[in-house]
Amino acid sequence: MESTFEINFCSRNVLLKFLENYSLEQLNKIPEGFSNNLIWNIAHIVVVQQMLVYKLSGLPMMVSDEMIERYKRGTKPEQDVTQAEVDEIKLLLFATLEQTKKDFAAGIFKNYTEFTSMSGFHIKNAQAAMEFNNYHEATHTGMMMQIRKFI
């Protein structure tokens, strides 16, 4: 599990650079030909990790129901995100991973509702969910690298 978390923290540091190096306007911009923006991708990554690991384990998540509704799979930006929302997402970027790492160490993930991703990966437990999550984050980070070329 240690390498899974190392990869995930590295991924989150890449995302942090987007939050630190792009203006609020740039984070919110949806370039022509795209259906979302930089900040939606980052918030989506945070939400999906929580849903994959905690929700499917039957455990409380660190993200609000409102955030889930705005950034879960199948959504797109409906309005610009405020600086306060960016700050919250920035905080959750690492707080969620740090808590997940602690929770794995504490052995709280006992149950899991198996799930097959859209890409066909069958997730049987919380550990596999974290491993798949790295793939999911990499996919969205790649999309963000494309978006940044047009903002």
**pLDDT tens digits, 29-41:** 999 999 999 999 9
Closest to 140 measured CA to CA, from 19, 5, 63, 43: 43
pLDDT of residue 140: 97
Closest to 118 measured CA to CA, from 55, 48, 40, 62: 48
CA atoms within 13 A on the CB side of 136: 28
What mean pLDDT value characterizes the chain?
97
Provide mean pLDDT across the span 122-142: 97
**CA–CA gap between residue 57 and residue 55 (Å, rounded):** 5
Residues in the chain: 151
The pLDDT tens digits for 57-66 are 999 999 999 9
Q: Label residue 17 by pLDDT band (50, 70, 90).
A: very high
Q: How many CB atoms lie within 10 A of CB 47?
A: 25
Q: Is the dihedral of CA 60, 116, 123, 10 positive or negative?
A: negative
SS (H, E, C) 53-103: HCHHHCCCCCCCHHHHHHHCCCCCCCCCCCHHHHHHHHHHHHHHHHHHHHH
pLDDT of residue 132: 97
Provide mean pLDDT across the span 100-110: 98
pTM: 0.95
Closest to 56 measured CA to CA, from 97, 1, 110, 131: 110
Phi-psi map region of 119: left, alpha, beta (phi>0 left; psi -120 to 50 alpha): alpha
